[in-house]
Chains A and B, each alone.
Chain A
Amino acid sequence: MNTMTLLTTSKYRWGEAILRQLFFLCALISVLTTVIVIGILAVETSSFFQQVSITDFLFGTEWRPMLEPKAYGILPLLGGTMLIVVGSSIVALPVGLACAVYLSEYASDRARNIIKPVLEVLAGIPTVVYGYFAISFVTPGLRFVFDDVQIFNAASAAIVVGIMVLPMVASLCDDALRSVPLSLREGAYSVGATSYEVTARVVVPAALSGIFAAFVLAVSRAIGETMAVTLAAGATPNLTLNPLESIQTMTAYIVQVSLGDTPSGGLAYKTLFAVASVLFTITLVMNLLANKVMRKYQEVYE
């Protein structure tokens, strides 16, 4: 159009366009990060699978990558991780949900203003501190109560991982419960329900998808938790159901390898990526699921 010269100067347009592209690149970095992570894991893992068969890796019950005879079955590491997940869930899910119920259904504004910041502080404490708490407080406590507790054991790590993810569970469940409209509670009270009946039979079921998402995210975090389990759970790839024994999780194994002087390029080094692939896949699937559920329930009440 002829009149365009009147309305715009090309200099302006150039500057705006370049800025726009710059901003876009910054946003794209996140996608790039994902692509590179997946690329690295895929390349190194497939080269690992040229030397070790996938079935041996996924279904083998012995993990002995550094000692002869070598064995590369990930089940002991997966089992160790699952032990931590189950143990921490027993602590974090009920306690976290109960905290959330207290905060959203019972607490006065004053109590809420005290408890919310405490939970935020708990959530902000670095995981290495929880690891220290496990070995200096929880493990001695367990050994005091039970007889045959090994110095490194799954139970101690699971308890502190549970405490660690508890604030996240509480805060996400609190959000979910508070997104249930007040009018629903009033409707329930108006037909003669007690506070327990209102909470347990109306409010919690209405918030179930959000609570579910919170639980999934909590489990995903417990799976990826590293320092507390490295410090407290030990370094024994051990396919066991006994939480009082020493175990090793996938994350703790990755730390163990990177602490040693494992030569780059060797098979032992590649196990790092194979294990990380499993870890990444599991947590990614769980996060995708949780985020999807969460977006859904946010749509319902908006």
Chain B
Amino acid sequence: MNTRDDAVLEARDVTIRYGEQAAVKNVNLSIYEKKITAIIGPSGCGKSTLLRSLNRMNDFIEHVTQDGEILYRNTNLYGEGVDPVEVRLHMGMVFQRPNPFPKSIFRNVAWGPTINGLPGDINLRVERALKQAALWNEVKDRLNDSALNLSGGQQQRLCIARALAMEPEVILMDEPCSALDPVSTSRIEDLLFELKQNYTIVIVTHNMQQASRVSDYTAFMENGSLIEYGDTDQVFTRPKQKRTEDYVTGRFG
């Protein structure tokens, strides 16, 4: 697809290697504003690695090298003078397993904005984030309880609130429902539609029903390469590539 002017993020010829092994190969991909983009593909296809390159989370892994550019509104995230801390202020992230800090519910959400000195009243900010994450009603009376006492689904929504409290532009989600039960999963899927009003979302998932339900665009990856990228409808119903078709239909049986 050609670059459109509503692209928030653009990966240009991105290759990511663990040592000698290339996990992502020459990927070109645009992420559009206030849309949900799903990245699907078999385990080990490089979809999580690609996602983590969008907020420079691969920086912490030893022996990882990256070629190509990732442009965020025309600034290369890996360009000289770009601070990874600053990058992450613009790109929030939600992880595969809920990973709340062993602190109170309030502190979990307030911590990021506090250390970064974000403006405004912190109580309001926490409340807003918890409401957006559809968690406020369940926790408003026990904000000082430990986050570890919440259920798995609640913890994951807390982690979403933690990301939202930073008011990022993009939210990166790495299989956010893989550790959750079906009820919690559908709550989070509902939440995604709400969040789309204000945020650009990239979601990595191995669950194709989920991808087809929630996303506007779908990227299919295999062995580190981007095989196909397009409207979710088109990718799932009229895939252009044989391999996409095999994968999409194979899974549906």
Contacts and interface: CB of A to CB of B under 8 A. Distances in A.
B101 A202 contact: yes
Contact of A190 (B93, B97, B100): B93
Interface residues of B, number: 27
Contacts of B112: 191-193
Interface in B75-122: 85-86, 88-89, 92-93, 95-97, 99-103, 111-112, 115-116
B89 to A, nearest CB: 5
A187 B109 CA distance: 11
Contacts of A202: 101
A109 interface: yes
Given A192-B88, A197-B115, A108 B62 contact: yes
Interface string B200-235: 000000000000000000000000000000000000
A190 B57 contact: yes
B252 interface: no
B101 A193 contact: no
A82 to B, nearest CB: 34
Contacts of B93: 186, 190
Given A109-B62, A201-B115, A188 B101 contact: yes
B97 A191 contact: no
B154 to A, nearest CB: 16
A206 interface: yes
B163 interface: yes
A60 interface: no
Contact of B115 (A190, A192, A206): A192
Interface residues of A, number: 20
B166 interface: yes
A9 interface: no
Contact of B57 (A108, A189, A194): A189
Given A183-B95, A206-B102, A193 B159 contact: no
B30 interface: no
A183 B85 contact: no
Nearest to A193: B115
Nearest to A208: B102
Contact of A192 (B85, B97, B99): B85
Interface residue SS majority, chain A? helix
A181 interface: yes
Interface in B101-153: 101-103, 111-112, 115-116
A188 B114 CA distance: 12
Contacts of B115: 191-193, 197, 201
A56 to B, nearest CB: 49
Contacts of A108: 62
A39 interface: no
A186 B99 contact: yes
Contacts of B99: 181, 183-184, 186-187
Given A191-B166, A194-B85, A183 B97 contact: yes
Contacts of A206: 101-102
A205 interface: yes
Nearest to A205: B102
Interface string A5-32: 0000000000000000000000000000
Given A183-B99, A189-B60, A190-B163, 17 more contacts: A183-B95, A183-B96, A185-B60, A186-B60, A187-B162, A188-B111, A190-B57, A190-B93, A191-B92, A191-B111, A191-B166, A192-B112, A193-B85, A193-B112, A193-B115, A201-B115, A206-B102
Interface of A: 108-109, 181, 183-194, 197, 201-202, 205-206
9 contacts: A184-B101, A185-B60, A186-B93, A186-B95, A190-B163, A191-B88, A191-B112, A205-B103, A206-B102
